[in-house]
Amino acid sequence: MRFVSCFIQGLEVATVELLPSVELRHCFRLLHYTFKGAGHTVKALKDRMWDIAKASHMARFQALIKELQDFDEEAFKLLAKKPPMYWCRSQQENM
């Protein structure tokens, strides 16, 4: 079973306590809104972020992360704060 969280405070803790076998994922759309709120409104950045989130192989994920780092270091650092196992397809066990 999977549960998609929208980063609602306390929801993840409750989910882990009540349903320990559930795989948690975060809503990437909300993460994108966080980027927009931090001033990252360039469409090219949005497209790169979505490409990273949809990457289904680790090698592709790593290549796209490196491209993002070269494109916008600040955006890379902001994205690096969130564990990719929650928002990136290549990092999830059961797709």
Query: What is the H or E stretch that residue 26 is in?
Result: strand 23-26
Whether 95 has a pLDDT exceeding 70, the answer reads no
Structure tokens at 33: 């809104």
* Beta carbons of 90 and 56 less than 8 angstroms apart: yes
Collapsing DSSP states into helix, strand and coil, what is residue 70? helix
Residue with tokens 């009540």: 18
Least confident of 9-13, 41-45, 70-74: 9-13
pTM of the model: 0.65
**Mean pLDDT in residue range 45-74:** 91
